[in-house]
Structure 1
């Protein structure tokens, strides 16, 4: 560091050295008023000093002429040294300037190649991960691999129709079998729009830095021209949306499994809100972004719209999300906080209870949200059992049902300050889930009923 600092000061040393020499010259010409000699008289040459001692005194005119001639030669020497040192400093300055300019220009193509190369290495990847340098999570970072396009193409049977698992806003998801017989899910994003590029970068940057049992694992990524690929762990039971609103009609989801899924989602959100610094706002929590593995463990997915420290950056955030899950304050005023995710969680909880879609079409131009429809009946204990999904009707302790309904009501409150923190929601759900599914409820035990004030 000291060497670099000394080198960077060289361009300024030359001119200053020249100035010092000129000052010394000026001082050498100052005459002492008492002695009549200069303050810094020139030293006599060793060869001629004895001659001065033996020579008779010259006339004043001859002595002045000799001194003047000597002073002229000194002046020329000092000026020459000043000019030379200034020129040297200028040369070094321009060399350093062009070196810095060259370095800046040579690093620019690396960032530009993000959108043109087939795959990019860790150096280029850091160009868009760099904005998350201050982001810290409470667990170790996950190793994310740069994958080969041809290998993924082969693994998905050339992105065949038979391998499609689902379809999202920017592309399809395919089932893939890698060379080591590992099955993964590959999301293919086609097109180079600004939104798709930004969502891809956000997804990779976030999921490469966080790891949690209830958050999907990103295994690798690839860029091939305008196509971007993301490889995730395969979730065998698909999305919660497909389980509830698909052909099975929720038949595989018992009451306890639904409560386990709600608890898993709450744990994933709590990790994002409380254990990531700054906190992460998912911003697109919905049943289609909740994936279920072979044991119905739920994991949050699709972080393309996620915002780091959204409460501080809300004014610069483009309004995004899915109708029916978007909190009213975000939809109307653009205010985005962790309570926006809590609202979406409340809607998911209502889906688990009622098996109704977030927004249902009543007429060609008339829609009704699940919140508007359910709210009057959720608080009426005589009506609540009648609107529950028939698949789970009469399969739970009514006290448990009332408590879950109370939690859902609080989560979807129009005023954000009335909604609970996701940590409080989690604590209220833990006693409702059996021990073998991750809760604290023992067989034959009635869960304690919490008052709404404690949530």
Structure 2
């Protein structure tokens, strides 16, 4: 790691060809003398703390091919002398403080392939000369203050692939300008003032994977050409003036995982063909004028996690196929004309965290199945015609934090739960028969007193029974206390209520109480993630020197059983073994708590969250450069090797995925949830399906329940390709599924994340080595896959 500024004496290195000081702590300005390095081909000073202006003399470096100065604090304007760099291929000036306009001389850079000027303070019009960049493949101008019409000749070279101009003040008919850019795979136009008829101006793009034209002024009907984009994964058209119907041809874009057409003027019904979009995760159609019923065919969208149909004119019943959306965590049907009773099938949506059925015409009682939604946090059923009493089962929904039942016809007492106790009168009003200890409601009526037939019956019958019960309870309590003290070590705190605190090196009960206080009884605002087994909360514990932990609250309570049972002992032995693991690439497990209300694991907290979150965020993904990604892959390999080969008994993870790899502030990888799948399998109430995340599970688990270390090796192969590609390699895996081993002839360039600069030759060598190892891990035959120990050694040797 280098500190300080670049010395002017650098000019003495007259034969220097490559100057790469990427990711250091360099400060000060770029010296004028750098213009004397006439042999320089690579100038890479990105991700430092450089200030000052971009010196005009940089135009003197006639052999320069790569100018990479992004992620600094360079200010001033782009000098027109930059147009003298006739050999330049890659220019990265993004994420600085540059001002002024783009100089027309940029049009002289006939060999330029990448031009990154994003996230600066640039303004003015884009010069027409930019159309002379015939070799341009990537143009990133987003996050500036550009205005005016975009030059119509931008596609003259026909090679443009990645075009992002979002968050500016552009206007005009940009889609017509891009119509001939047939190689585009990523187009980001959101938050501008573009206009034009989307039906007439949208072209045909075979490689298009993302199109975001939201927050503009486009009009017309949605083009049926979207159905001819076989790679389209994200389509965002929300907040425009689009009208007409949703074309059924969109159902042919079977790679779609996000479709957002909200806040437009769409009419008609949801086409049945949308049921073919089986990869869809998010369907957002709110704020239109759609009508009719929701088609049963949408039940086939089993990957759906987010559905918003609010603010339309849907009527009739909710289809029963709704109950097939087992991964759904957000469902909003607010402000429609749905009628009938609330479907009992909604109780199947076991991962649902927010449900809004308000402002509809639902009638009848609340189905008891709704109270089985243990992950539900927000429930709004206000302004319907619902009646009857509120199920007492609401009191068992400990995760429910917000509820609105106003303006219905409910009667009887409100349940005694956190959500109802904390509810405002506005969330309960409009129900004439409702009672409870909330200001504005009528108080609960006292129970009727039973008429006693005489004191003799009371004393003769009741007292002996109570006395016998008391003796029995005391005896059982003493017996349990003696047994538990003999059998459990001091690492386990167990009380008479079956509450267990297995937290070595900490006072379990104090830590439990701290966590409840720190998360305000697991309030939704502290939730930082959700998974198949539970939700994760961030907790800062003041009594333990403000240590921050991640708390995984299980969807189901750990049942445990008798303290002396083999089942119980095995569970505690597993937890105790996992708390003793020490490895730099494995998330530390502090312990486990079981309470009558909830069960949870306590983990080390990692600041940057999951690898999946980082890769799905454009800015964060760019920050995760090639060197960091290589280290992430190595770190995961080291963690798996340790657990498989260096522990007293091998531990199989069972669920390696980008969601279970966490990153610290230095982007070091830490594998989380090691052993959790097995722990929860010990408690059959939690283990209801095969462990693993869809898309990472080894193929042999389709016909055998035997989980081995080679299953983890397969998942690692998928993960390694995902880190290189920047997204899950589902398309590659699908293409390879017809053979026993994946295609090893795939080109590295076809797998690289397009959001990053092209890697150096040395990094390309490393990435090719990783790809070869990853592909060997994906062999259909488990015996042909390498062990993770071999993978770890190989990566350490080659990289």
Question: TM-score when scaled to structure 2?
Answer: 0.34
Compared with structure 1, are the counterparts of its residues 121 and 222 closer, same or farther at alpha carbon in structure 2 (3 Å cutoff)? closer
Compared with structure 1, are the counterparts of its residues 376 and 230 closer, same or farther at alpha carbon in structure 2 (3 Å cutoff)? closer
Deviates more, 1:372-381 or 1:224-233: 372-381
Secondary structure in structure 1 of the residue aligned to 2:690: coil
More helix per residue: 1 or 2? Answer: 1
> CA separation in 1, counterparts of 2:528 and 2:573?
23
More strand per residue: 1 or 2? Answer: 2
User: In the alignment, does 2:541 pair up with 1:178?
Assistant: yes
- Residue segments in structure 2 that go unaligned for 5+ positions in a row: 1-477, 561-566, 682-686
> CA separation in 2, counterparts of 1:116 and 1:396?
63
Aligned partners of 2:652 and 2:675 also within 8 Å? no
| 2:752 corresponds to | 388
- Residue segments in structure 1 that go unaligned for 5+ positions in a row: 1-101, 126-141, 311-315, 361-366, 434-455
Aligned-pair distance for 1:400? 2.4
Secondary structure in structure 2 of the residue aligned to 1:265: helix
Q: Which of 453, 477, 497 is the equivalent residue of 1:117?
A: 497
Aligned partners of 2:740 and 2:779 also within 8 Å? no
Aligned-pair distance for 1:201? 5.7
Compared with structure 1, are the counterparts of its residues 292 and 116 closer, same or farther at alpha carbon in structure 2 (3 Å cutoff)? farther
**For 1:334-345, what aligned pairs fall within 5 Å after superposition?**
334-345=705-716
> CA separation in 1, counterparts of 2:577 and 2:520?
29
Q: Which of 523, 542, 557 is the equivalent residue of 1:160?
A: 523
> CA separation in 2, counterparts of 1:373 and 1:258?
29
> CA separation in 2, counterparts of 1:335 and 1:299?
26
**For 1:7-406, what aligned pairs fall within 5 Å after superposition?**
107=483, 117=497, 119-120=499-500, 143=505, 146-148=508-510, 149-179=512-542, 180-192=545-557, 204-246=575-617, 248=619, 250-307=621-678, 319-357=690-728, 359=730, 369=734, 372=737, 379-380=744-745, 383-392=747-756, 394-397=758-761, 398-406=764-772
Aligned-pair distance for 1:318? 7.2
Aligned partners of 1:356 and 1:370 also within 8 Å? no
> CA separation in 1, counterparts of 2:528 and 2:559?
25
Compared with structure 1, are the counterparts of its residues 377 and 416 closer, same or farther at alpha carbon in structure 2 (3 Å cutoff)? closer
Aligned partners of 1:236 and 1:292 also within 8 Å? yes
> CA separation in 2, counterparts of 1:166 and 1:317?
21
Aligned partners of 1:200 and 1:228 also within 8 Å? no
> CA separation in 2, counterparts of 1:370 and 1:430?
30
Aligned partners of 2:656 and 2:712 also within 8 Å? yes
Secondary structure in structure 1 of the residue aligned to 2:622: coil
Aligned-pair distance for 1:286? 1.0
Cα RMSD (Å)? 4.0
| 1:420 corresponds to | 786
Compared with structure 1, are the counterparts of its residues 376 and 344 closer, same or farther at alpha carbon in structure 2 (3 Å cutoff)? closer
Deviations 1:119-168 (A, max 9, x none): 4366xx9xxxxxxxxxxxxxxxx746524333112222443333221112
**Structure with greater contact order relative to length (CA < 8 Å, sep ≥ 6):** 1
> CA separation in 2, counterparts of 1:407 and 1:380?
13
> CA separation in 2, counterparts of 1:373 and 1:400?
28
Answer with 1 or 2: which has the greater Rg: 1
> CA separation in 2, counterparts of 1:335 and 1:282?
13
Aligned partners of 2:501 and 2:594 also within 8 Å? no
Compared with structure 1, are the counterparts of its residues 144 and 279 closer, same or farther at alpha carbon in structure 2 (3 Å cutoff)? farther
Equivalenced residue count is: 301
> CA separation in 2, counterparts of 1:172 and 1:373?
37
> CA separation in 2, counterparts of 1:411 and 1:342?
6
> CA separation in 1, counterparts of 2:627 and 2:743?
20
Deviates more, 1:285-294 or 1:318-327: 318-327
Aligned-pair distance for 1:105? 11
Secondary structure in structure 2 of the residue aligned to 1:277: coil
Deviations 1:331-380 (A, max 9, x none): 322232211111111010010111222547xxxxxx97486499999623
> CA separation in 1, counterparts of 2:767 and 2:678?
33
Aligned-pair distance for 1:236? 0.3
